[in-house]
Structure 1
Amino acid sequence: MEIYEDISSSELNNMINNKEKLILLDVRTEAEYNTSRIPNAINIPISDLDSQIDHLLPYKDEKIIIYCRSGKRSIYAAHLLDEYGFSHLYNLTQGIIGHLNYL
């Protein structure tokens, strides 16, 4: 079974427009997050994710959309969250770069 599912920017927009319950997790640095972000995203840099996992535990059974700049760090984050028992993980393919280009 796959640890996470890849989703496109159009699929993410559909989820947001349909008001699906989901958590947006931005695993870029704080500086990157402050430059551009998807509204309502939680920023936990990939380097801090392990030590800050407690912030996400209340959302363990919810859909978590993970994104970074281009889609690489988010895959690593998905594997880490899987180790903590998170089961509804989605990786935004092409990261925020692809998403901003899509909008």
Structure 2
Amino acid sequence: MKSITSVLILFILTLGCAQSTSKPITEFSQNDIENGILVDVRTPEEYNAGHLENAMNIDWFDETFAQQFKKIAKDETIYVYCKMGGRSAKAQEKLKTLGYTKVINLEGGYDAWKEATPD
């Protein structure tokens, strides 16, 4: 019983110390990318209709999606976003499987950012 309690406590502490892998897009600022990269995973058409400042466009649906990240270091902080959060969550998981260790999904996507940003 003592070992089960110890394992549970260790597990809870590990979860509490884990790096956050998501952040509401409305809390994102340009200061966040001073030591990272901002990637819009929407289509080029969506990107051209409006995007966050300093974002590079790497289309989730492009068959060369993974290859386009080869020039980015595996330990670089990468912020990903899309229209509402679905594609960026998938992109985040894909990048993790490719060995990228600091991928932050900007929850809510461009729609949430646009709604929170005055014209």
TM value normalised by structure 2: 0.73
Change in CA separation of 1:81 and 1:99 when aligned onto 2, cut-off 3 Å: same
The 3-state SS of whatever aligns with 1:73 is helix
| Letter of the structure 2 residue corresponding to residue 54 of structure 1 | Q
Do structure 1's residue 91 and structure 2's residue 105 form an aligned pair?
yes
Counterpart of 2:49 (choices 23, 30, 35) is 35
Q: How many Å separate the matches in 1 of 2:93 and 2:46?
A: 22
CA RMSD of aligned residues (A): 2.2
Give unpaired runs (5+ residues) of structure 2.
1-14
Give unpaired runs (5+ residues) of structure 1.
none
Q: How many Å separate the matches in 1 of 2:59 and 2:19?
A: 20
- Does the 8 Å contact 1:3/1:87 carry over to 2? no
Counting aligned pairs with the same residue, the percent is 32
Change in CA separation of 1:78 and 1:21 when aligned onto 2, cut-off 3 Å: same
TM value normalised by structure 1: 0.83
Higher RCO (C-alpha 8 Å, min separation 6): 1
**Which has the higher Rg, Structure 1 or Structure 2?**
2
Aligned length: 100
Report how far residue 4 of structure 1 moved.
Answer: 6.7
- Does the 8 Å contact 2:26/2:112 carry over to 1? no
Change in CA separation of 1:33 and 1:18 when aligned onto 2, cut-off 3 Å: closer
